[in-house]
Amino acid sequence: MTQQFYVSPEQLMKDRADFARKGIARGRSVVVISCEEGIALVAENPSPSLHKIGEIYDKIAFAAVGKYNEFESLRQAGVRYADVRGYSYDREDVTARGLASVYAQSLGAVFTAEQKPFEVELAVAEVGESPSDDHLYRLTFDGSIADEKRFIVMGGQADKVAETVEGGWQRELNFAGAIRLAMKGLVTDKEAGELPASALEVAVLDRGSESARGSRRAFRRLGDDEIAALLSEEN
Amino acid sequence: MQDTTANQVAANATSSFTEHLQRNRPGLLPFNQAMPATAGAGSQPLQVPHATTIVSLTYGGGVLMAGDRRATMGNVIASRHIEKVFPADRYSVLGIAGTAGIAIDLTRLFQVELEHYEKIEGTLLSLEGKANRLGAMIRGNLPMAMQGLAVVPLFAGFDLPVGVGRLFSYDVTGGRYEEQEHHAVGSGSMFARGALKKLWRPGLTEEEAVAVAVESLYDAADDDSATGGPDPVRQLWPVVYTVGRTGARRIPDHDLAAVAGAIIEARTTARREA
């Protein structure tokens, strides 16, 4: 019988974390910004059908970076969790906090118990009555969870992107301003000063969806034309 | 099929909320409760509120559905405020006749089913797909229907690729039938259908369609004690939804008050008995 090598728990966890971090750093970034009109979710994503941003429930959206199959299964699990909860209790009993803690538990369980950790980083955003009521949760591959204010940046070069977004953020931003700021962040490490609308995936959580559109569902995905129009708009 | 990981993943992938509940939370399904067996053959069916008349008709730009506001329990009026027509999603509506409690739960389940599919798949289900899913749910309720707790829906929606409004009726076994022009379900349906036959014509406008629907409900309420008519004292009007290319829209109460007022006035002026 072959002898099992002893690996200390510290080393094991460190190796796993390094592995996951490397996987995530290869991917393109996602920016989630809370602004006056709601929450804008912007990702660099050339595919028009494989989404990094998705609707979870009435006021809750999801954004992710990393391996598509892994975060897609987490997104679907989130939709199931939210729908079951909303169906068995009530729609207003579905909260981002509840969802984020379920995600934290599953990511934590996979990180410690499975062969390989998930190479993903998630954001769960819930839009509130005003920017100070917004909830932005950031979840990492090991199940740690952070409650962020104003914005979240994830993925490759996240530090540089966050620096730019931090510099330009203000409370009075509208969607057009937030999306432009996000794009400014996303191109920080690139030579081109701009990304075409087709390379961006943009969705918003409308703060006033009930009054403006008569819909409880605040999530709205923006088409290429709409993105291009918002990007060309002047401040 | 071999029991490989890939096969397992494929077998577990479902975009259906009902299937997900069936698998993981069967207790939450409205039709999965074990009902106590009724005592003997001659026993009375359970006394629970019943929803009655729903009418639906197509018009120039889509399809309309309307329901009265009365629920009955035997010979007693259980509710004057019940709503029996609901938006199922942006482009379809659903009306329910039969056991109110189960019907309302089925409606809620159907609404979540459509939204769940949309979120998981990132696209809307086709109108035929929605109609089929509803049929499957009604079939799931068959054991309860056998015990007297039947639900009979009417489903209408706008078929976006074709660009027309379509409507579907069901039987308790989940059989799905596409109806042309107009249809009605519930205890007052035969009277409503008679009125629809006379009032409906091709190419109605939306306003005309609303008037036709309200008048047919008025006729149903005239002859069927389980159907409630317009109630000017309590200011209660039928629930009316239209579905067109821009989506489902509930007709506001003040419009319905005007339409119902015009019908009541015309009948008062005519001074006819029947």
A140: confidence class by pLDDT, cuts 50, 70, 90: very high
Check residue B12 and give its pLDDT: 76
Q: CA of A230, closest CA in chain B: separation in Å? A: 23
Gap between the Cα atoms of A201 and A211, Å rounded: 26
Q: Which residue has the tokens 């399904």?
A: B29
Q: Please, what is the angle between helix B127-140 and helix B17-24, to 10°?
A: 30
Whether A87 and B122 lie within 8 Å, measured CB to CB: no
Q: How far is B120 from chain A (nearest CA, A)?
A: 6
Which residues of B are the active-site residues? 52
Binned at pLDDT 50, 70 and 90, residue B42 comes out as: low
The pLDDT confidence band at residue B94, using thresholds 50, 70 and 90, is very high
Name the packing angle between helices A68-88 and B17-24 (round to 10°): 80
Are A79 and B108 an interchain contact pair (Cβ–Cβ within 8 Å)? Answer: no
Residue in chain B lying closest to A82 (CA): B116
Nearest-CA neighbor of A166 among A9, A33, A53? A33
- Distance, in Å, from the CA atom of B122 to the CA atom of B113, rounded to the nearest integer, reads 14
**SS3 readout for chain B:** CCCCHHHHHHHHCCCCHHHHHHHHCHHHCCCCCCCCCCCCCCCCCCCCCEECCEEEEEECCEEEEEECCCEEECCEEEECCCCCEEEEECCEEEEEEEEHHHHHHHHHHHHHHHHHHHHHHCCCCCHHHHHHHHHHHHHHCHHHHHCCCCEEEEEEEEECCCCEEEEEEECCCCCEEEECCEEEECCCHHHHHHHHHHHCCCCCCHHHHHHHHHHHHHHHHHHCCCCCCCECCCCECCEEEEEECCEEEECCHHHHHHHHHHHHHHHHHHCCCC
Tokens 């067109």 belong to: B244
Is the separation of the CB atoms in B183 and B31 below 8 Å?
A: no
Question: Phi then psi for A202, rounded to 5 degrees?
Answer: -130, 135
Average pLDDT of A180-203? 81
Q: What 8-state DSSP symbol labels residue A141?
A: T
Q: Which residues contact A176 (CB under 8 A, 6 or more apart)?
A: A230, A231, A233, A235
* Predicted local distance difference test score (pLDDT) of residue B40: 47
Query: Which residue in chain A is spatially nearest to B19 when comparing CA positions?
Result: A80
At A40 the three-state DSSP class reads strand
pLDDT in tens, A67-91: 898 899 999 999 999 999 999 999 9
Res A3 pLDDT > 80: no
Indicate yes or no: CB of B20 within 8 angstroms of CB of A80.
yes
Closest CB from B28, B109, B116 relative to A79? B116
Q: Do B21 and A84 touch (CB under 8 A)?
A: yes
Q: A89 CB near a chain B CB, below 8 Å?
A: no
Contacts of B114 in chain A (CB under 8 A): none
- Secondary structure of residue A60 in the 3-state scheme: strand
B contacts of A79 (beta carbons < 8 Å): 116, 119-120
| Residue whose C-alpha is closest to residue B259's, from B225, B232, B233, B227 | B232
**The residue count for chain A:** 235
* C-alpha A76 chain-centroid distance: 14
Instruction: Please tell me the predicted confidence (pLDDT) of residue A231.
Output: 83
Interchain pair B122, A51: CB under 8 A: yes
In Å, what is the CA distance from B66 to each residue of A21, A167, A215, B159, B240?
57, 55, 21, 19, 4
The encoded tokens of residue B108 equal 């809620």
Is the CA virtual torsion B31, B37, B41, B44 positive or negative? negative
pLDDT tens by residue, B127-143: 999 999 999 999 988 88
**Residue A101 clears pLDDT 90, i.e. is over it:** yes
Q: Which of A48-52, A157-161, B35-39 has the highest mean pLDDT?
A: A48-52
Q: How confident is the model at residue A1, as a pLDDT?
A: 63
| Residue B119 distance to chain A (closest CA, Å) | 6
Contact A55 B119 (CB under 8 A): yes
Phi-psi region of A201 (alpha: psi -120 to 50; beta: other; left: phi over 0): beta
* Separation of alpha carbons A37 and B224, rounded Å: 51
Residue holding tokens 């409690």? B101
The residue assigned the tokens 């002859």 is: B223
Chain centroid to Cα B56, Å, comes to 9
Of B120, B116, B203, B129, which is closest to residue B159 (Cα–Cα)?
B129
Task: Please give the structure tokens belonging to residue B143.
Answer: 């054991």
Tokens of A170: 């203000």
Whether residue A56 contacts residue A99, with contact meaning beta carbons closer than 8 Å, is answered with yes
* Strand ranges across the sheet with A145-148: A53-57, A60-66, A120-126, A135-139, A145-148
**Among A45, A69, A87, A220, which would you mutate to test the B interface (most chain B Cβ atoms within 10 Å of its Cβ)?**
A87
> Which chain B positions have a beta carbon within 8 Å of A223's beta carbon?
none
Nearest residue in B to A77, CA atom: B120
In one-letter notation, the amino acid at residue B165 is G
Q: Which residue in this structure is represented by tokens 């005007």?
A: B258
Lowest-pLDDT choice from A163-172, B31-40, B146-155, B205-214: B31-40
Q: Average pLDDT of B115-126?
A: 92
Query: What pLDDT score does B43 carry?
Result: 60
Token code pair at residue B64: 């309309």
- The whole-angstrom separation of Cα A26 and Cα A5 is 31
Instruction: Find tokens 């068959």 and name the residue.
Output: B142
**Is A88 an 8 Å CB contact of chain B?**
yes
Contact with chain B for residue A54, Cβ under 8 A = yes
Nearest CA-CA distance, residue A88 and chain B, Å: 7
Chain A (174-193) residues lying within 8 Å, Cβ to Cβ, of chain B: none
Residues of A in contact with B17 (CB under 8 A): 80, 83, 87
Report how far residue A12's alpha carbon sits from residue B233's, in angstroms, rounded to the nearest whole number: 75
A83/B115 Cβ within 8 A: yes
State whether A87 and B115 contact (CB < 8 Å).
no
Output the pLDDT for position B26.
85
> Is A54 close to B28, i.e. CB distance below 8 A?
no
Interchain pair B112, A83: CB under 8 A: yes
Mean per-residue pLDDT, B44-69:
88
Question: Which residue intervals of chain A are DSSP H helices?
Answer: 9-26, 68-88, 96-113, 158-168, 175-186, 209-213, 224-232
How far is B27 from chain A, CA to nearest CA, in Å? 10
In whole angstroms, give the CA distance from residue B231 to residue B68. 10
For the entire predicted model, the pTM comes to 0.90
